[in-house]
Amino acid sequence: MKPRLSFPAELKHEIHVWRLTAQRISPASREETAVRGLLLGKVLALERLLARRLHSFHRQISQEDKNWETNIQELQRKGQFFGPIGSLLMSTYLPSAFSGVREPFS
């Protein structure tokens, strides 16, 4: 059964809870060792799921950035984007206004 967690923070919390649960089991018997192994397997599966979701999220954001920049450039070429003064303002102020947006995703 796949977890229905959609946000990375929730998934990270679940990974943390399963990892703590596995650490609390002392490998005194074969059964406890097996249970601990199963819990650590679940942790690894959740970590892989988190990595896939983050990768797809970053890929989606990157694609949206490319599409956005392409659309702006296309509109500027056609002259439908605020005219010459608007193009000057957009090329001057827009990159600096959004320059910090990409940094957290790097």
Side chain identity at residue 81, one-letter code: F
Angle, nearest 10°, between helix axes 30-78 and 8-24?
170
Q: Is the pLDDT assigned to residue 100 strictly greater than 80?
A: no
Better-predicted residue by pLDDT, 75 or 18:
18
Structural domain that includes position 85: 8-105
Question: Token digits for 1?
Answer: 């059964």
Residue 13 domain-assigned (yes or no):
yes
Residue 2 domain-assigned (yes or no):
no
pLDDT digits (tens, 9 = 90+) for 43-89: 999 999 988 888 887 777 777 666 767 777 777 677 655 555 665 66
Q: Is the pLDDT assigned to residue 12 strictly greater than 60?
A: yes
Residue 58 domain-assigned (yes or no):
yes
DSSP string for residues in 3-53: ----SHHHHHHHHHHHHHHHHHS---SHHHHHHHHHHHHHHHHHHHHHHHH
In the chain, the number of structural domains is 1
Tell me, what's the pLDDT at 5?
47
Residue 35's closest CA among 45, 44, 25? 25
Rounded distance between C-alpha atoms, residue 91 and residue 68, angstroms: 14
pTM: 0.52
Residue 95 domain-assigned (yes or no):
yes
